[in-house]
Amino acid sequence: AQSVTQLGSHVSVSEGALVLLRCNYSSSVPPYLFWYVQYPNQGLQLLLKYTSAATLVKGINGFEAEFKKSETSFHLTKPSAHMSDAAEYFCAVSGNNDMRFGAGTRLTVKP
């Protein structure tokens, strides 16, 4: 079965600084990879997804992620953090017929 590891349960950045959230995956078949965001007391919303069309994927709100097969990684970045980016972020992998999530990274943005 596929799995995801998110490095760092909590990341804190200053407003305007680079955001880097790390995700490594394991899958026995070519994976589909996703990043979701969760705001307090809400469900999950899709930020972006990788489906093998391009290794650099652009998502909503200025986020992007790069698929690196050799490193089995799919790290999420944003050049300049905004206060509204404070939320919990989940990396997910879809291999066979199910989608598995990482433990999540809580992003705090300091003014």
Partner 1 sequence: NAGVTQTPKFQVLKTGQSMTLQCAQDMNHEYMSWYRQDPGMGLRLIHYSVGAGITDQGEVPNGYNVSRSTTEDFPLRLLSAAPSQTSVYFCASSYDRGDEAFFGQGTRLTVV
Contacting positions for partner 1 (CB under 8 A)? 6, 9, 32, 34, 42-46, 49, 51, 90, 92, 94-104
- Shortest approach of partner 1 to residue 9 CB, angstroms? 7
Q: How far apart are CA 23 and CA 4, in angstroms?
A: 7
Q: What are phi and psi of 72, to 5 degrees?
A: 45, 50
Q: How far apart are CA 85 and CA 108, in angstroms?
A: 8
- Shortest approach of partner 1 to residue 57 CB, angstroms? 13
Q: Which is nearer to partner 1, 50 or 109 (CB)?
A: 50
Q: List the beta bridge partners of residue 77.
A: 20, 64
- Shortest approach of partner 1 to residue 111 CB, angstroms? 26
Which one-letter amino acid corresponds to residue 18?
Answer: L
Q: Which is nearer to partner 1, 62 or 104 (CB)?
A: 104
